[in-house]
Every structure is written in structure tokens, then in C-alpha cells.
Amino acid sequence: MVKAVVLGAAGGIGQPLSLLLKLNHDITELALYDIVNSQGVAADLAHIDTPAKVTGYLPPNNGLQSALTGAHLILIPAGVPRKPGMTRDDLFKINAGIVKDLAASIAQNAPKAFVLIISNPVNSTVPIFAEVLKKYKVFDPKRLMGVTTLDLVRASTFASEVLGADPREVRVPVIGGHSGVTIIPLLSQAKPSCTFTQDQIETLTNRIQFGGDEVVKAKDGSGSATLSMAHAGARFASRILDATIKKAPGITECCYINLDADEKCGIQIKNTTENLEYFSVSVELGPEGISKIYPIENLSRYEEKLLKDAIPELRGNITKGITFISEDS
């Protein structure tokens, strides 16, 4: 029995993400929670002829608690998306509060679940989530991941356009954080091995870092990436299920994690990241979550500079998340 839960299931990401999870045959129960319309989305998806039993939950009658109980995997796209005219701080204030409250409920009702955070700003919402779990003494860094898969998906797509290759064949590791200059595509480590000119590297890097802006602009006030994000979230969820349910070996992904996981996984990468507590890195997934962290190595000169430029902003984002919780108590 595998129960997956989506918090924020009626939103722009939540609906297509829930649809893709309903199509995943490894999931036997799908719990959809939102503060509005989750029961409508659940009734609609429940008619699809796949095994997962779908239930919608709203806040009354301990809806959140019921949705979370027995969860194996929880995906969180709850919150507001970036809209033109909105400052990063506006977005932070709203989403930080939402993630904090959801974390408290997960700590009490599903402390062993694997949690995938989609709500932005991921650089700060993952530390917020972790700080709340720490308060409840249930934090396990191997089970909490910020979803940066959309950066990887974009990197494959954009790089394959330049190469004239099939995007399914092109893989580019993306490390660092999940906004603007904190996103560090490692084009020198693209697979299959290929060569880009410096011009192509700089153009591609900028497009991967700011790809979200293309969508916000094109949607012209109606939100940010939802469909590509739903695909990215469902892909990552399916990798987690492969590792934790099917116990498939050798599953590697990049995601944004608390680097304390490295003490348990045996590779010390904090030196490379100037002791940042959170970073997106390439990890191996096993039955208990993150089982191995790959070292950050063999960067090109250009990528080393990207890393150097990313660190101050990422440090600020992490501190902001941690402070949000410490000042709250």
C-alpha cells in the first residue's frame, strides 16, 4: 500500500501533478488536500481507471490530519506563485507561513514520510520545513528534499535544442539552489559527453537560471510554470518510489537537501560549499531516502565562478528561512 499526498492539490501545479500521480500505478491511495476545491479535483480524478483510490480533503474536520495519516510520500505545491509586481519578499512572507504550518502537521501526523517541497522560494522553504521538524525532534535529512527537477528538465530541453539531440538522451547536472544565480548548470558534465562554445555555455546557463521568467512573462499575470513543474514533480516522485518501494538500485537525482545528510552518507561536501547548510547536489536514493551524496568536483573555471557567485545569495536565502522560525519562537 503506497499513499501519496498532495498539499495544495487544487492549484495550477497541484491539479496536473495529482493527475500524473493518479496515472502512476505504484500509488494505491492518493490524498488531495487544499483549502479550496480539493474534493472537486478528487471526484474528477477518481473516475480515471487506474488503481489509486483518490480522496479530497479540506481544512474542516481535521482534513489535513486525515490526508497525512499513513502517508509514504508528500508533495507540497501549496502557496502563491510569482506574479508580475510581486516582490520576492511578498512571496516569501506568504509561502513561509503556509509551509511552516504544513510542516507542523506533518511532524505530528506523518513524521516518517518522504517530503518533496515545491513551494517557492525553495532555497528558504526547505530550511523552514527542516527547522519545524527539528522542533518536533523528527527531522531526518535523508527524507526531506527541495524539488529542483524543473531546472534539470529545462537544462535537458535547452541543451538538446543547441545540440540538435533528443532531449530524453541529454542529461545536465544542476547544483546549487533553485532561483536565478543560485542555479548552477554543470554543462561540462553533460551526458552524453559533448562540447559547447563559451558563448553557448553562457547563453544556456542564463536561460536555465532564468527559464521561469519566460513562463511568467508569457502567462502575462496568470501565474508561473505549472504544467512543466507538474511533470518535473511527478518524475521526481516516481524516482523516489522506485528507490523506496521497488528498492531499485542506482537511482540518482539532483535535489536541494540539508547537508547534514552527508554525515550519514559518508561524503563531506560542506567544504566545497563554504559550509552552507543546504545545497542542491547529485544524490543516490535508496530505501531510506538519500543514501549517498556525490562530491562536487571537476568543475570548469566558468562553473567555479558560478558557484562563487551563488554562495552569498544562497546563504542569505537559507538564513532568512532559519530566522523566520527562530524569531517565531
Binding span for ligand NAI by CB under 6 A among 8-16, 190-198, 299-307, 316-324: 8-16
Nearer to ligand NAI, 219 or 264 (CB): 219
The stretch among 32-40, 161-169, 247-255, 281-289 that binds ligand NAI (CB under 6 A) is 32-40
Q: CB-side exposure of 70: number of CA atoms within 13 Å?
A: 10
DSSP collapsed to 3 states, 4-20: EEEECCCCCCHHHHHHH
Q: Which three cell numbers stand for residue 297?
A: 568536483
From residue 140 to residue 179, the character string flagging contacts with ligand NAI as x (rule: CB under 6 A) and all else as - is -------x--x-----------------------------
Task: Please state whether the peptide bond connecting residue 59 to the residue before it is cis, i.e. omega within 30 degrees of 0.
Answer: no
Report, in Å, the least distance between residue 172 CB and ligand NAI. Answer: 16
Burial of 25 (0-12, 13-18, 19+ CB in 10 A): exposed
- Shortest distance in whole angstroms from residue 327 CB to ligand NAI: 20
80 binds ligand NAI (CB under 6 A): yes
Minimum CB distance to ligand NAI, residue 82 (Å): 5
In this structure, are strands 114-117 and 53-57 parallel, antiparallel, or unpaired? unpaired
DSSP code at position 81: P
The position carrying cell 504544513 is 102
Active site residue 178: yes
**Which of 25, 72, 178, 231 is labelled catalytic?**
178
Closer by beta carbon to ligand NAI, 11 or else 141: 11
User: Which burial class, exposed, middle or buried, applies to 272 when counting CB atoms under 10 A from its CB (0-12, 13-18, 19+)?
Assistant: middle
Which span (29-37, 274-282, 284-292, 313-321) binds ligand NAI, by CB under 6 A?
29-37
CA distance linking residue 114 with residue 73, whole number of Å = 5
**118 near ligand NAI, rule: CB under 6 A:** yes
Binding range to ligand NAI, per CB under 6 A, among 76-84, 169-177, 283-291, 318-326: 76-84
Neighbours of 45 (CB within 10 A): 21
Cα–Cα distances (Å) from 77 to 4, 25, 32, 296, in that order, read: 13, 22, 11, 29
Q: Closest distance between ligand NAI and the C-beta of residue 225, in Å? A: 4
**Closer to ligand NAI at the Cβ: 108 or 195?**
108
Side chain identity, residue 8? G
> What is the distance between the alpha carbons of residues 232 and 227, in angstroms, rounded to a whole number?
9
Least distance to ligand NAI, CB of residue 302, Å: 24
The residue behind cell 507540497 is 76
Residue span 197-236 as binding mask against ligand NAI, x where in contact by CB under 6 A, dash where not: --------------------------xxxx--x-------
The C-alpha cell that represents 236 in the structure block: 521526481
Q: Which stretch binds ligand NAI (CB under 6 A): 3-11, 191-199, 238-246, 307-315?
A: 3-11
Report in angstroms how near the CB of residue 300 gets to ligand NAI at its nearest.
25
35-39 long-range contacts (CB < 8 A, ≥24 apart) are: 35/59, 36/10, 37/10, 38/9, 38/10
Q: What is the DSSP string of 137-185?
A: T---TTSEEE--HHHHHHHHHHHHHHHT--GGG-B--EEE-SSGGGEEE
Smaller CB distance to ligand NAI: residue 12 or 321?
12
**Alpha-carbon gap, residue 316 to 35, rounded angstroms:** 31
Question: Least distance to ligand NAI from the beta carbon of 131, Å?
Answer: 18
Kindly tell me which residue out of 16, 56, 63, 81 binds ligand NAI, with binding defined by CB under 6 A.
Answer: 81
Residues lying near ligand NAI in the complex (CB under 6 A): 7-8, 10-14, 33-36, 77-82, 95, 98, 118-120, 122, 147, 150, 223-226, 229
Active site residues: 178
